[in-house]
Structure 1
Amino acid sequence: MSAVLPQNLWKHSVFLICLFPVLSGCGSGESDAPADLPVPEAAPLSSAQSAATEASDSESGEKVFDGIQFDVPVGWQQIPLSPAQQGMISASFQIPKAGPDVKLTLSSVGGGIEANLQRWRGQFQLPPGEEPIQKTVRVDDVEAIWLDLRGTFDTGPALNGTAEAGMRMIGVAIPRSPRDFYLKLTGPREQLLKAEPEFEAFLKSARFKQ
């Protein structure tokens, strides 16, 4: 009996040694490496982080806004709409290589083209002797209006804006049904000059999809 008891104790010890790794999730015997654990989910992004991610992840190429397809140039960043823009603006872009303050908005708005052009004119105080530059351009074989304004720009109380001198805006109004489509490029004059060629190419790429 004295020889049997140590042998039983030895068996129980071996059993407990083998059982511990199994209960720990390790010790399958197939590998000495720890077993794979679930990858923890990343913490939710804050709204500011989400906005930055969406902007940096935006890609160039063909995109459709309100039934019009455009070829978005490389480097343009589509950014999330602010609460004040939601319901009024269809899309908003920044053009960093032209300058940090160059912005483009796209929108479909009712009320008639002339009324909206007049509203744009009212947002600018032009220097003495300077007049708005207005011309007709063709967008996918449709006549649109190009309006170029330079001076002090005031977005108005609706957008909590402030008046800024030395600004420029190129606005394009495209007749559409039931609501006309508008492109509005704004920024400091010297920065907008750098963005103008790509903006013209963006406008010429427009194709009506519906």
Structure 2
Amino acid sequence: MTMTMLRSAKVLPLVAALAAACSKTPEPTATSTPEPPAQTAPAAPTQKAPAAPTQTAPAAAQPAAGELAWDAPASFETAPNPNSMRKATYKIKRAAGDAEDAELSISQAGGSVDANITRWVGQFAEKSADSPKRSEVKVNDIKVTVVEVRGTFSGSGMPGMPASAPKPAYAMLGAIAETPSGELWFFKMTGPEKTVTGARADFDKLVNSLRVK
């Protein structure tokens, strides 16, 4: 066997091996698996603040049943109430020649109409021949009993209360108003006779203005 043939016999198997190696399918290149996108926690639902309760203005206070209203004449000067029983107090300027002003007190109390008239008349130690006078009028569904007394005024007329120094030539002009609900209101003017007599027209105006609120 010649040398050329030997070389050819060695080369052929080598070439065949190389060809077989080249014919193999190359291995796929490994690729990284994509990570799933990060999941964020769902946002908490937005909670609305509770609406503030609607506030309404408080209702105006209602007057008590049987409360009276009246119009005081300009000649009646408002004065402080001496006690809690008084609803109002007015001073009436004295007439010429009188030593004191007259006073009109307005109050609300118990007792019957007759019992209070008896008490008022009892405040006069001596009464004039035509005293007392009593009459009744109706004003806006309010029954009003009017009483007039003249003479020597002696004091409170209340049991256990001392009488004041007698005051001659005095007068009292009173009105007891009975509301439709049965409550009694007292309008009592006392003072020197001339002053009380001179204020009679204004007193009547006040009485005629009475009304239930």
Under a length normalisation based on structure 1, what TM-score does the superposition of the two structures give? 0.60
Q: Is the 8 A contact 1:139 1:174 kept in 2?
A: no
Q: Is the 8 A contact 1:102 1:185 kept in 2?
A: yes
SS at match of 1:87: coil
CA deviations on 1:136-173 (whole Å, 9 max, x unpaired) are 11222322111100001122363763221100001111
Query: Gapped runs of 5+ residues in structure 1?
Result: 1-65
Aligned-residue offset at 1:77: 1.3
Task: Report the AA paired with residue 174 of structure 2.
Answer: G
Task: Report the AA paired with residue 86 of structure 2.
Answer: I
Runs of 4+ in 1 over 6 A off after TM superposition: none
Change (3 A) 1:122 1:97: closer
- Give the alignment partner of residue 173 of structure 1, picking from 173, 176, 192: 176
- Give the alignment partner of residue 192 of structure 2, picking from 181, 184, 188: 188
Change (3 A) 1:201 1:87: same
Aligned residues: 141
CA deviations on 1:149-208 (whole Å, 9 max, x unpaired) are 000112236376322110000111111346310100111111111111011011101111
1:201 aligns with 2:205: yes
The structure with the largest helix share of the pair is 1
SS at match of 1:161: strand
CA–CA separation in structure 2 for the residues paired with 1:170 and 1:102: 10
CA–CA separation in structure 2 for the residues paired with 1:184 and 1:95: 12
Q: Which residue of 2 aligns with 1:52?
A: none
Q: Is the 8 A contact 1:110 1:178 kept in 2?
A: no
Q: Which residue of 2 aligns with 1:138?
A: 138
Higher Rg: 2
- Give the alignment partner of residue 91 of structure 2, picking from 90, 94, 119: 94
CA–CA separation in structure 2 for the residues paired with 1:143 and 1:81: 25
Task: Report the AA paired with residue 175 of structure 2.
Answer: V
CA–CA separation in structure 2 for the residues paired with 1:91 and 1:134: 24
Task: Report the AA paired with residue 212 of structure 2.
Answer: F
CA–CA separation in structure 2 for the residues paired with 1:141 and 1:174: 10
CA–CA separation in structure 2 for the residues paired with 1:174 and 1:72: 16
Query: Gapped runs of 5+ residues in structure 2?
Result: 1-65
* Superposition RMSD in Å: 2.2
Q: Which residue of 1 aligns with 2:109?
A: 109
Instruction: Give the share of equivalent positions with the same residue, in percent.
Output: 28
Q: Which residue of 2 aligns with 1:152?
A: 152
Aligned-residue offset at 1:108: 0.4
Q: Is the 8 A contact 1:126 1:149 kept in 2?
A: no
**Larger displacement relative to structure 2 (112-121 or 155-164):** 155-164
Under a length normalisation based on structure 2, what TM-score does the superposition of the two structures give? 0.60
**Larger displacement relative to structure 2 (174-183 or 190-199):** 174-183
Task: Report the AA paired with residue 88 of structure 2.
Answer: A
